[in-house]
Structure 1
Amino acid sequence: MLSTAASRASLARVLASQKRGLHDIVNIPGRPAVSNGPPGRSATTGHVVTVFGCTGFLGRYLVSKIAKSGTQVIVPYRDEDEKRHLKVMGDLGQIVPMEWDLRRPDQIEECLRHSDTVYNLVGRDFETKNFDFKSVQVDGAESIAKIAASAGVSRFIHVSHLNADKDSKSKFYQAKAEGEEKVKAAFPNATIVRPAVMYGYEDRLLNNIAIWSVWWKLNNAQTKIRPVHVMDVAQALTNIFSIPSLPGTLNLPGPSTLTYDYLLALLSTVTYNPPSRAPVVPKPVAAFLAKVAQNVWWPALSPDEVERRYINDSDVSGDWDKVGVVPTEIEDNALLYLRRYRSAENFVRPVVLPPSRENPVSANLEL
């Protein structure tokens, strides 16, 4: 009896000194270390994953794919309404929302101390009075990586950008490159993922081209980019989770190199709208207007984004084979994301039949 009581007291002292969860240090007799259930949402993989930046564009698709396999996902959020759509992506109790602030190390630790894998998707496309590029993509990334290493997290996956370069003219790309170095120093076995600009339902590529086409004609719309489907990137990040170890840097560009001029033509073709007649705005004028727009609550364009419109995407080869994903072409998904911009007038326009051998001239049929 005394030995049992002593052992319980000893276990209590050990648990009190630990920062991780009970399931991380105690193996319950008679139960497997990793339990399983039926395939799908009701499964239990035994893993716990934290996804910082889960409320962003890429984060929602990553959370959905990870939770679908039965993994418990910690979803840190800043605004109460930003995480509501994530709750239904997993089974009961598998999506755990936790409020956090990037400037609070104690909240960061609370969000990841029970996890065995941490994803860092935090980033900003433009600077604000509270968060600039350095505070988010350099200091923030370093803080998360250091806390993850000290908490004993086994895997750290950091999402950067294909054009990350410390010598770039863009502060955004400079901060991405500096953030990579900080993460590698704090977590040497981290996996750095570099996707190109992504497109999807809530993207800032196709949607912005459809609404603000004038800002995509900078540099005469000849800037070369390699857009990638957000679902392909989310699947690649999900596959990395199942690979035991994959340190280093992975480049995930799109399968084709395109220009903004081509994307403008593609949008016009898919939406049945005439090509944009907006003039080409000179770079100094665009930079000035973007600087003025910074005083607006939601700027349409930032000065650094103007600079990025003149920078071609890196021509490095992709590492898709390492993550078992074949990227799709943007033309295969353009209709899915651009259909909403078709005008209702399309339903009353005359139908143009293609020419045939019997009728070599196209015929117009009024609806």
Structure 2
Amino acid sequence: MLASTSSRLRAGSAPLRRGLHDLVTTPSKKPIISYGPPGRSAVTGHVVTVFGCTGFLGRYLVSKLARAGTQVIVPYRDDYEMRHLKVMGDLGQVLPLEWDIRNEQQIAECLRHSDTVYNLVGREYETKNFDYASVHSTGAQRIAKVASENGVSRLIHVSHLNASSSSTSAFYRTKAEGEELVKSAFPNATIVRPAALFGYEDKLLNSIARWPIWFKLNHGRTEIRPVHVMDVAQALTNLLSIPDAPQLINLPGPSKVSYAYLLGLVASVSYNPPSKAPTLPKSVATALTRISQSVWWPTICPDEVERRYMNDVDTPGNWDAVGVEPDEIETFAIKYLRQYRSAENYVRPVVLPTSRVVEF
């Protein structure tokens, strides 16, 4: 009886066979064997570590990797920050490990079984335990060094579009220093430079809706190139299957917009009247942010005030190299800003600004 049932099951379903095309050998001689139809329960054969997985970009990258059947190591510092990541993949495919960026042994434990490592670690503001240099520069170098020593085949390091060693912003300056240190420790590392990200939990559209006064600095004339977080996450995911990608990849948004335009966009989509808050002088804004930083976690830090006066660099993107076409910010504005509408205006149609030139 059991034998006949087994025979019918075998006859009614096509056998899963593996061929030579399912086997990939990495430079470190680690075999990568894919198995099963594409999807959550498949096995791509890749084992990936995502440092910075609990951040804004990291959670979307983990989701895309795990949904394709990749085994993902998610290093964390706080249990509560990583719990939502475990359900993004099939059982046993998302593996959390505790780590500290200053502990090389813990870093090695997180990546010793991985063929690819993503470094998304970054800080928007400095604290008494972690300044920009310890995270963006020496921390990135430490991850690259340990990855090289443990035979990791590929390191993908996420920096910023405006990274520059001569920048007046410590954030951008340490990002550039980190790139050089990473390349010295891991010469074949891929450097990815996205612009400012927007999405559900972003610090762009949400911050403009909540704290418009901080985006009126420089009279809103500063121009940026915002990019959708899902596009960047997809680009990083695609790099897993593009071994010959460029070593430097710039990912700016498709359009250049000013903060004044974004303030108008938020007001028009949320149906809240434009903010009448005054434009603060740079010296006053810096002093206020220093006070807030010394009392509690800052809404905005002094270095971010400096960045509010800096335009995004005008450099072409490498979207074709990663197989992604970036979306305009207006396409998703209503999706992320509807929560700021009142009940009276919740279902009103969207009326976008007619021009991207907005002046105070």
- Hey, what's the Cα distance between the residues in 2 that align with 1:243 and 1:196? 22
After TM superposition, the structure 1 = structure 2 runs for residues 86-101 of structure 1, keeping only pairs within 5 Å, are 86-101=85-100
Report what 1:124 is aligned to. Answer: 123
1:122-153 superposed Cα distances (whole Å, 9 cap, x missing partner): 00011011000000000000000000001000
Partner of 2:227: 228
Quick check: 1:251 aligned with 2:233?
A: no
Query: Secondary structure of the equivalent of 2:230?
Result: helix
Structure 1 unpaired stretches of 5+: 1-23, 28-32, 352-367
Q: Structure 1 residue 271 and structure 2 residue 270: aligned?
A: yes
Change (3 A) 1:262 1:152: same
**What is the SS of the residue equivalent to 1:311?**
coil
Does residue 74 in structure 1 map to residue 89 in structure 2?
no
| 1:170 and 2:176 matched | no
Once residues 288 and 173 of structure 2 are traced to their aligned partners in structure 1, the CA distance between those partners, rounded to angstroms, is 23
How far off its partner does 1:328 sit? 0.3
Query: Match for residue 306 of structure 2?
Result: 307
Cα pair distance change 1:60/1:26, threshold 3 Å: closer
> CA-atom RMSD, angstroms?
1.6
* AA in 1 matched with 2:259: Y
TM-score (norm 2): 0.87
Runs of 4+ in 1 over 3 A off after TM superposition: 24-27
Contact 1:199 1:230 in 2 (8 A): yes
Q: Secondary structure at the match of 1:333?
A: helix
C-alpha distance in structure 2 between counterparts of 1:61 and 1:233, whole Å: 9
Match of residue 153 from structure 1: 152
Please state how far the C-alpha of 1:345 moved relative to its aligned partner.
3.3
Deviation, structure 1 residue 26: 9.3
Written as runs of structure 1 = structure 2, the 5 A alignment for 1:179-198 is 179-198=178-197
Q: Evaluate the alpha carbon distance shift between residue 143 and residue 340 of structure 1 in structure 2; reply closer, same or farther with a 3 A threshold.
A: same
CA gap of 1:114–1:348, structure 2 versus 1, over 3 A, is: closer
Q: Is the 8 A contact 1:219 1:310 kept in 2?
A: yes
Distance 1:26 1:149, change over 3 A: closer
Preserved CA contact (<8 Å) 1:190 1:247: no
Task: Look up the equivalent residue of 1:271 and give its one-letter code.
Answer: S
1:246 and 1:255 map into 2 onto residues whose CA distance is 21
- Contact 2:30/2:115 (CA < 8 Å) preserved in 1? no
Number of aligned positions between the proteins: 322
Larger Rg, first or second structure (1 or 2): 1
| CA distance, structure 1, for counterparts of residue 234 and residue 33 of structure 2 | 23
C-alpha contact 2:251 2:318 (8 A) present in aligned 1: yes
Unaligned runs of 5+ in 2: 1-27, 350-360
User: C-alpha separation between the residues in 2 aligned to 1:136 and 1:70?
Assistant: 30
Name the amino acid aligned to 1:57: F
Q: Deviations over 1:260-311 (max 9, x none)?
A: 0000000000001111111000000000001001123321110000000000
- Which residue identity lines up with residue 153 of structure 1 in the other structure? V
Report the secondary structure of 2:141's partner residue. helix
**Alpha-carbon distance, 1:45 to partner:** 1.1
Deviation at 1:246, TM superposition (A): 2.4
Distance 1:348 1:237, change over 3 A: closer
Q: Following superposition of structure 1 onto structure 2, how do residues 129-144 of structure 1 map, counting pairs within 5 Å? A: 129-144=128-143
Give the match for residue 55 of structure 2.
56
- Helix, strand or coil for the counterpart of 2:124? coil
For 1:159 and 1:53, how far apart are their aligned partners in 2?
Answer: 10
- TM-score, structure 1 as length reference: 0.85
Change in Cα spacing, 1:206 to 1:67, as seen in structure 2 (3 Å) is same
Aligned position for 1:202: 201
Secondary structure in 1 matching 2:213: helix
